[in-house]
Amino acid sequence: MTDRTPPRREISEEQSFRLLVAGVRDYAIFMLDPDGVIKTWNAGAERFKGYAASEILGQHFSVFYTEHDRIAGRPALALQTALDEGKFEDEGWRVRKDGSRFWASVVIDPIRDEAGRLIGFAKITRDITERKVAQEALRESEEQFRLLVQGVSDYAIFMLSPDGEVTSWNPGAERIKGYSRDEILGKHFSCFYTEEDRVSGLPAQTLATARAEGRFEREGWRVRKDGSHFWAHVVVDAIRDEAGELVGFAKVIRDVTERRQTMEALERANAALFQSQKMESLGQLTGGVAHDFNNLLAVMSNGLDALSLRAQGHADLRMLETMQRAVARGATLTQQLLSFARQQPLKVEKCNLNAVIRGFEAVLRRAADGMIGLEVRPEPEPRPVLLDVARFESALLNLVVNARDAMPQGGKIVIAVGNIVLDEGAAGTLAPGPYVRVAVADTGSGMSPEVAARAFDPFFTTKEMGKGTGLGLSQVYGFIAQSGGDVLIDSEPGRGTTVSIYLPVAEDTSGDADTLTGPTLDTVLVVEDEPDLLDATAALLHSLGYEVLTAGNGSEAMGVLNRRDDIGVLFTDVVMPDGIDGIQLARSTRELRPDVRIVLASGYPLPALRAQHGNLSDFAFIHKPYRLADLVRTLGMAT
């Protein structure tokens, strides 16, 4: 059987190389003579550039360059560089036959014969337009992101290395933390933490958590360059590459100090309001019980007097005397209850607390006992207050005795008098303004927060059975509250107790201050949407001698203000349902009638109202529920 397979034609190495180059379609590979004239052309060159070999052979290779590059001499520079350096490599725009452009990667190598003479250039070009477009898109995206981050000023946004060193820094970080970019780059981020947090290892814990869980989020104190502290909300995210390797951390921080302060003020105001309402309720209950008990004691006392006239023998008289003493003790107890309930009549006078305490100091020293040191620190320039002096002396004595009992092994009591100006919410529910503070501090056993919270409750005592009625502090509280002030306790187990009495300064008040009346009796427009409260407030103002007009909502009040020109005071609730709230009414009134004094009343604390409505410093404010002394004082401060 004969093999009819045709014999394979052998080709030379040079022919193989030519076929290889001619068949390549992903690269334009062609030769230039020493002057740059095109001598060869492959399939890739025809595909990229659009010229057939018959169209392009013999033309100068500068035809592929843009007009701008030809004028700039880029083709000649490419050949000269290849000659000088042995190679020319570049990327740039090139032009196809149809005039369209593509982004090319170009390599030009000089070709020499065996004698070293230049015989031309090998030129390899690749179309990398897609890669160029992708790079440009990425660069544009990165630039937009950089501009976004650099434009943010309310947030500190920066990068950390895997070890925690700062590697980027935006203007928000500079504004919040105080460091410029040059100052902070390369430093460890732990410099933003407090000394306590650094000692406890919080910076390392932050990175460890972010590395393990992908994210760390927390709030806490951070430190600025100048050493000041701010409350920060912090988020740290771990950043990983495509292979999952950690390349660093993204850290975003916001200064939320103002929000924290607002929340703390709101919590304090709510706690003060709760305490005030609790004491008010207890006072009403206690007062009612005390009045009824007084009536029962009167019946018993009168009956015992009648029986004593009919008594037979010494034994009967002794029994009746014992019963009378019990009635007298019960009467004293009811007086204490009435004092807590603020239902005791007060003989008020304008007085100097330094002088009052100085005149009563001998009694206080005897009460302190020999093992207790007593120091009185007067105010150099005390301001006058309105006070029932006898009851104040009794209250002060009560505080000194309590302090003495808290120091069975001895100690020291300090009574300090000082002028003070309170901000909103600084002391219970007291309105901001000038006060005189009398602080009684001891070095005794102190009280837990739970005990301190109940210290003013009637009948609550920590003393042994038979050594206290539990009415001492409640009596002090009731008397001071009835005098327009407040009492606060600062105590901690093992560190003593300070009881602070705040009394309002008596401004422009005569020494004969048996009644608390406003300095000027104007016509008052009361605006309140709750009918019962509207009637009660109007009656209270009537009792002080004011002429009172009423309105049930903001629209009705505006009508009254437009009709009446004799209104001196607008007293308005803040929250009303008809669309015009008290703030809007107050501001409209200030524009319409600048001469009208304005008082805002609300159960919400003033910081919360400021957070919602902005600056309210143009108006006086009174917190619900308000008492007679609160009302008189606020009307006197209204502008």
- The predicted structure's pLDDT at residue 529: 84
In terms of C-beta distances under 8 Å and separation of at least 24 residues, what long-range contacts does 408-412 make, across chains too?
Answer: 409/371, 410/371, 410/372, 411/371, 411/372, 411/373, 411/442, 411/443, 411/444, 411/496, 412/372, 412/373, 412/374, 412/375, 412/442, 412/443
Residue scoring higher pLDDT (139 or 86): 86
Q: How confident is the model at residue 469 (pLDDT cuts 50, 70, 90)?
A: very low
pLDDT level of residue 184 (50, 70, 90 thresholds): confident
pLDDT at position 69, please? 92
The pLDDT of residue 620 is above 60: yes
Cα 549-555-556 angle, rounded to 5 deg: 30
Q: What is the mean pLDDT of the chain?
A: 77
Task: Please state, in angstroms and as integers, the Cα–Cα distance from residue 274 to each residue in 261, 457, 600, following that order.
Answer: 20, 13, 20
Residue 304 binned pLDDT confidence (cut-offs 50, 70, 90)? low
How far apart CA 599 and CA 580 sit, in angstroms, is 16
- H or E segment and range at residue 288: helix 257-309
Residue 395 is predicted with a pLDDT of 81
Q: Which residues lie across from 351 on neighbouring strands?
A: 385
Residue 62 CA, distance from chain mean position: 68
- What are the residues whose beta carbons fall under 8 Å from the beta carbon of 504, sequence distance 6 or more? 385, 386, 430, 433, 434, 435, 484, 485, 629, 633
- Cα–Cα distance list, 437 to 383, 481, 499 (Å): 10, 14, 10
Give the pLDDT band of residue 342 (cuts 50, 70, 90).
very low
Under the banding of pLDDT at 50, 70 and 90, the label for residue 371 is confident
Residue listed under structure tokens 């393990």: 212
Tell me which of 130 and 467 has the higher pLDDT. 130
Between CA 378 and CA 149 the distance in angstroms is: 58
- Residue 466's φ and ψ, nearest 5 degrees, are 90, 0
Q: How far apart are CA 109 and CA 66, in angstroms?
A: 21
Q: Are 410 and 372 in contact (CB under 8 A)?
A: yes
Which of residues 66 and 539 earns the better pLDDT score? 66
pLDDT of residue 297 exceeding 70, the answer is: no
CB atoms within 10 A of CB 402: 21
Q: What is the pLDDT of residue 252?
A: 86
31: enclosing H helix or E strand? strand 28-32
Residue range 96-116, pLDDT digits in tens: 999 998 898 899 999 888 888
228, pLDDT greater than 80: yes
Residue 303 near residue 326 (C-beta atoms within 8 A): no
How far is 153 from 106, CA to CA, in rounded Å? Answer: 45
Walk across the sheet containing 156-160 and list its strands.
156-160, 246-255, 229-240, 215-223
Greater confidence, 370 or 588?
A: 588
The pLDDT of 213-234, averaged and rounded, is 89
pLDDT of amino acid 340:
43
CATH architecture classification, 13-133: 2-Layer Sandwich (3.30)
Q: So what's the pLDDT on residue 18?
A: 53
What is the pLDDT, as a whole number, of residue 299? 47
Helix (H, G, I), strand (E, B) or coil at 633: helix
Residue 419: is its pLDDT beyond 90? yes
Burial of residue 560 (CB within 10 Å: 0-12, 13-18, 19+) is middle
Percent of the chain with pLDDT over 70: 70
pLDDT value for 24: 52
Please provide the CATH number assigned to the domain covering 523-637. Answer: 3.40.50.2300
User: Residue 420 to residues 44, 258, 416: CA-CA distances in angstroms?
Assistant: 92, 25, 12
* Mean pLDDT (whole number) for 250-271: 73
User: Which position has the higher pLDDT, 243 or 14?
Assistant: 243
Taken in order 167, 173, 175, 179, the sign of the CA dihedral is negative
pLDDT band of residue 625 (cuts 50, 70, 90) is low
Superfamily of domain 349-504, CATH level 4: Histidine kinase-like ATPase, C-terminal domain (3.30.565.10)
Rounded percentage of the chain residues whose pLDDT exceeds 90: 18
Residue 95's SS3 state is strand
User: Cα 17–23–28 angle (5° rounding)?
Assistant: 95
Write the pLDDT tens digit of every residue in 421-434: 988 877 777 888 99
> 1: pLDDT confidence band, cut at 50, 70 and 90?
very low
Strands 597-602 and 620-623: what pairing? parallel
Q: Quick one: which H or E segment has residue 215?
A: strand 215-223
Nearest to 107 by CA among 134, 81, 73: 81
Question: What is the spatial distance between Cα 419 and Cα 408, in angstroms, rounded to a whole number?
Answer: 32
pLDDT at 267: 65
- What digits encode the pLDDT tens for the residues 471-500? 457 667 767 777 788 888 888 888 889 999
Of residues 302 and 272, the one with the higher pLDDT is 272
521 compared with 343, residue with greater pLDDT: 521
Residue 418 pLDDT greater than 90, yes or no: yes
In CATH, the architecture of 152-255 is 2-Layer Sandwich (3.30)
pLDDT of residue 21: 52
Percent of residues in the chain assigned helix, strand, coil, to nearest 5: 45, 25, 30
The 10 Å Cβ neighbour count of residue 133 is 11
